[in-house]
Structure 1
Amino acid sequence: MKLYPIETGNFKLDGGAMFGVVPKTLWNKTNPADNDNRIDLAARSLLIEHNNQLILIDTGMGNKQSDKFFGYYSMWGDHTLDKSLQKHGFHKDDITDVFMTHLHFDHCGGSIQWNKDRTGYEPAFKNAKFWTNAAHWEWATKPNNREKASFLKENLLPMEESGQLNFIQRNSDSSFLENCELGFDILFVDGHTDKQMIPHIKYQGKTLVFMADLLPTVGHIPLPYVMGYDTRPLLTLAEKELFLNNAAKNEYLLFLEHDAHNELCTLEETEKGIRLKNIHTFESIFG
């Protein structure tokens, strides 16, 4: 098995929204804001090569939205999903499975693209199965007013219409892609959005955790640092506390999807609670 970080593009969001009730004088130390109060963010995916499978976790925003839409997010840098896949010798047609932690546009938008004559949409990964879970699909396709702007129909409905949509089954003990050759544990969390899935992958004797929106950046490690985007912030606090304690105790490597400047980190227990231990690049750990 081999793992590859896939950079799909960088963007910016309002720092206050990203840190909720935490004052700017605190979060600005770790995530400095520009003159418009926006902080740097990434949309970093993970590619798993295992036997005859290529599993991509999340797909970024994609490129089918309007210039006005992307203008809200101040895209920067030259990363794209296609270029990042090509860097590692792959093409979108090679992907066999697309695992989506959740269906907000910055996590699944790259799954669907315009068709050739731009009259409609089609899967960007024509040979892949798209994986979510039934409860989150229901949540996303019948959205509440708080999240409606994040669940875009053009990202979701073409998955179902293509026949490529699949649901992950959850049991009382653990969850995994039962129909895939590669099994990995999934933590279900509900604070950010209903039934977000956090993959835990065993690799080279370590546990790598794809953090999605449970921990967007290293600046979000202290417990009260919860995004204003979370639908149930008090639940996020409880889920985050349990996870961070486990991560420090078990020396998990945390793969940061949204941290534009840090790929991996580890945690440790201190007198102030769980804090950052070390920052790593993917290459420095896995070569």
Structure 2
Amino acid sequence: MVDGGVIFGQLARTQWEQFIKPDRRNRIRLGLNAVLVRTPGLNILVDTGAGSKRMVELKADYSLNGNKLTKGLKSFGLTARDIDIVVLTNLQFEHSGGCTKLDRTGAAIPMFPKAKYLVQKASWEAANSPNERYAQSFYEDDFEPLADRDLIEFVDGNKEIAPGVSVRLMEGPSRGNQVVFIEYGSERIIYAGDLIPTPFHLPLHHIPATAEFPNDTLVQKRELLEMAMGDGWMIVFGHGNDCNAAYVQDRGGVPQLVPVEV
């Protein structure tokens, strides 16, 4: 759970509490959503959630109720060793914490030992030299053990990482933030991550206080929504809770959600 003011930025509580109710500490519940993409010959994971290394701390601060990533993979008949590629939309702990786990000695080791971890070069630089505003967003043990084992693959801009799967640099939320585009048959999916974190962030001016470049966030959101409405892309929200994914229809110039179970 996260403070509602952080999630909705300049939007007043009297406005945002009309569509989502906070608890007595002004917090709202968010999801930490990862996506599994299965292509011929590849299992690709997009984001990993906060992981379990700091569960006591995260439960106290955010009421985090457990890491379900491994259980989710098991439901598809997969283990962590079956993942070939991990795409990280950014390296903040709620996206990259599940990249590593603690071994019996308490050292952080890769959760997905056979995978390559795809990170934007700018995101890596931001995580390794954060300013005072973002210093608490990163933990070195989420990603340094990957670099120590040469498991990091840097991306510099837009790139197709597998047939039908591409990343696009969209840095409104944070330096080096990337959005994932998936095309399979007639299906088109955008993993929007922090750019459109929840379905309540469809209005262009609903921008989290954490956005590093809020004006760029607005412009990039408009671009994604126009794509989604014009070409039938499904949007997966990085932090959606009750609604994790939806198609977006144009209703007189106003985006309207059509929720989808994923």
Q: TM-score, normalised by structure 2?
A: 0.94
Q: Specify the SS of the correspondent of 1:130.
A: strand
2:262 is the alignment partner of 1:278: no
Corresponding residue of 2:159: 175
1:150 match: 137
Where 2:219 maps in the other structure, the secondary structure is: helix
* Structure-2 separation of matches of 1:117 and 1:157: 17
Q: 3-state DSSP class of the match of 1:72?
A: helix
The equivalent of 2:103 in structure 1 is 115
**Alignment RMSD, CA only?**
1.6
How many pairs were matched up? 262
Q: Which string of whole-angstrom CA distances, capped at 9 and with x for unpartnered residues, describes residues 50-104 of structure 1?
A: 222111000000000151343111123x661111111111111111111101101
Q: What's the offset of the Cα at 1:169?
A: 4.3
In 1: Cα distance, 2:19 partner to 2:232 partner: 22
1:70–1:16 distance in 2 versus 1, CA, 3 Å: same
- Matched ranges for 1:125-274 at <5 A: 125-170=112-157, 174-177=158-161, 181-271=162-252, 273-274=253-254
- Is contact 1:216-1:258 (8 Å) kept? yes
Q: For 1:205 and 1:66, how far apart are their aligned partners in 2? A: 40
Q: Percent identity?
A: 26
Q: 1 CA distance for matches of 2:96 and 2:254?
A: 30
Deviations 1:124-159 (A, max 9, x none): 111111110212211211112211111111112111
Give the aligned partner of residue 18 of structure 1: 7
3-state SS, counterpart of residue 37 of structure 2: strand
Q: Which runs of 5+ in 2 are unaligned?
A: none
Q: 1:101 aligns with which of 86, 89, 112?
A: 89
Q: What is the rounded CA distance, in whole Å, between the counterparts of 2:203 and 2:210 in structure 1?
A: 17
Partner-residue secondary structure (3-state), 2:32: strand
Checking the alignment, whether the CA contact within 8 Å between 1:176 and 1:185 is kept in structure 2 is yes
Aligned-partner Cα distance in 1 for 2:148–2:109: 9
User: In 2, Cα distance between the equivalents of 1:43 and 1:69?
Assistant: 13
Residues 49 and 95 of structure 2 are in contact (CA less than 8 Å); yes or no, is this contact kept in structure 1?
A: yes
Amino acid at match of 2:256: L
Shift of 1:196: 0.8
Which secondary structure state, in structure 1, belongs to the residue aligned with residue 241 of structure 2? coil
